[in-house]
Amino acid sequence: MTESRKSPELAGPVASGSVFVYGANVVDVADGKVLTGRNVLVERDRITAVGRFEAPAGVSVLDARGRFLIPGLWDMHVHGFDEAYLPAFLGNGVTGVRQMAGAPVHADWRRRLAAGEVFGPRMVFGSRIIDGPRPSRPGSIAVTTPADARAAVTTCVGERAEFLKVYSQLPRDAYFALLAEAELAGIDVVGHVPFEVPVLAAAQRGIEHLDGVLVGASSEREELTAGFAGLDAGDPAGMFGRLSELTHRAAGTTDPARLAELRDSFLANGTWHVPTLAVHQAKATMGTPEFALRPYLAHIEPVLRQGWARAADWRSPDPAAEQRLFERYLEVTGELHRAGVPLLAGSDTFVPGFSLHDELELLVRAGLSPAAALRAATLDPARFLGVTDRFGAVAPGRIADLVVLEDNPLADIAHTRRVAAVLFGGMVLSSPAVLAAAPADRPAAR
């Protein structure tokens, strides 16, 4: 599994003192084992020792006897713009996130995170969305020609993007020009697979939402690919309706040989996938009593909440078909994992923190073991970002972003929800449940 060519900044706090975590059951996420009754010494923001030893004089003691210690969790697909909602990530044990679409507020957050003025998780900052000539998302960079694509790379690098986010309507020629320019600039390309590009031909480092996989694995691949390439961005309602129709058709026409071909291609190219099963589940349950995000609406930023609040009452004309599509996403996720294709945990629901736990449970439902799901939110993000020297393990030398859980997540991945304490850069955060509360229910000052 290849690592990112340039490590992100990942600014965070640095504690002023030392903490002795006493008697924890340390989860070794790499091996899927539990090391019982270990002590962990944290000095400032670093783990300096793990084992059985006495507490040095004068350190603060965090009693973790009977509890389980894991590395801080990462949600590798988020969108957030309101600072008031950031503490909920930390309250849920999510100490790092990947912001998937750059905006002016993120430039401000980057500066203020480095200065310790923002209370929120570590962040990796993506470029503005790079899309076709008629972008569907505000603030995107519109690209028509290869020259536009090369200019977009220059612009995004100048804006200090840590990766490029490509989108669905990017023209084929422009897409390949962007990949070549990004390679010269030493910056990763991730995101959607453009409609005009068959997933077999896509050469980006990461693919979100399993984009293009159902079509690429279909016995009707050629016809469906042509249908996607012909989608009209000038008619958004018609485009999304046709997109849904083609996706459902792809889900029902999987050819095992073609799926195997895709798996081999992803393995050969080192392509990572972020299935975002949580958002697929939300879409599949819209308008039903089982709508997955209904309990979380108060935790979503007001502007972003509007769309999901409307979705809560919208009902598909064929709910059974939506459920079948979601089940297919689960099945494909499991098949990719069993083949060794690397996966990352990311939610894309706009719910800070809570949905990452949903994603972990869905990864297990898809066929991953609890240990593999936990790696997809801890060690594997560190591998992807090229920061295994700092993150992804409870080990000496690593930054002390740690989560104390009440129960063993290797026995039941749902136990990641049972957060007893969070260390962030060596700081022990008080009252995780209070931090996870919606801003309206959270004390105003820290």
Q: Which of 241, 236, 248 is nearest to 319 (CA)?
A: 248
* pLDDT value, residue 226: 93
Residue 33 included in any domain? no
Q: How many domains does the chain have?
A: 1
Q: Classify strands 402-405 and 68-71 as parallel, antiparallel or unpaired.
A: antiparallel
What is the H or E stretch that residue 161 is in? none
Contact 64, 22 (CB under 8 A): yes
Three-state SS string across 65-110, please?
CCCEEEECEEEEEECCCCHHHCHHHHHCCEEEEEECCCCHHHHHHH
- How big is the chain by its Cα radius of gyration, in Å? 22
Q: Which domain holds residue 149?
A: 73-384
Residue 39 included in any domain? no
Residue 206 included in any domain? yes
- Euclidean distance between CA atoms 333 and 343, whole angstroms: 8
Contact 118, 81 (CB under 8 A): no
14 exposure class (CB count in 10 Å sphere: 0-12, 13-18, 19+):
middle
Residue 78 included in any domain? yes
- Euclidean distance between CA atoms 216 and 266, whole angstroms: 12
Residue 438 included in any domain? no
Residue 54 included in any domain? no
* pLDDT value, residue 444: 67
Write the CATH number for 272.
3.20.20.140
- Euclidean distance between CA atoms 147 and 171, whole angstroms: 12
Reduce the DSSP state of residue 359 to 3 states and report it: helix
Measured N-to-C along each axis, helices 354-366 and 319-339 cross at an angle, to the nearest 10 degrees, of 70
- Euclidean distance between CA atoms 304 and 347, whole angstroms: 14
* pLDDT value, residue 234: 76
Number of helices (H), then strands (E), belonging to the chain: the values are 15, 16
* pLDDT value, residue 1: 41
How many residues belong to the chain? 446
Tally of CB atoms within 10 A around 54: 7
Reduce the DSSP state of residue 13 to 3 states and report it: coil
Q: Which residues of the chain have pLDDT under 70?
A: 1-5, 444-446
Distance of CA 328 to the CA centre of its chain: 20
Residue 317 included in any domain? yes
Residue 341 included in any domain? yes
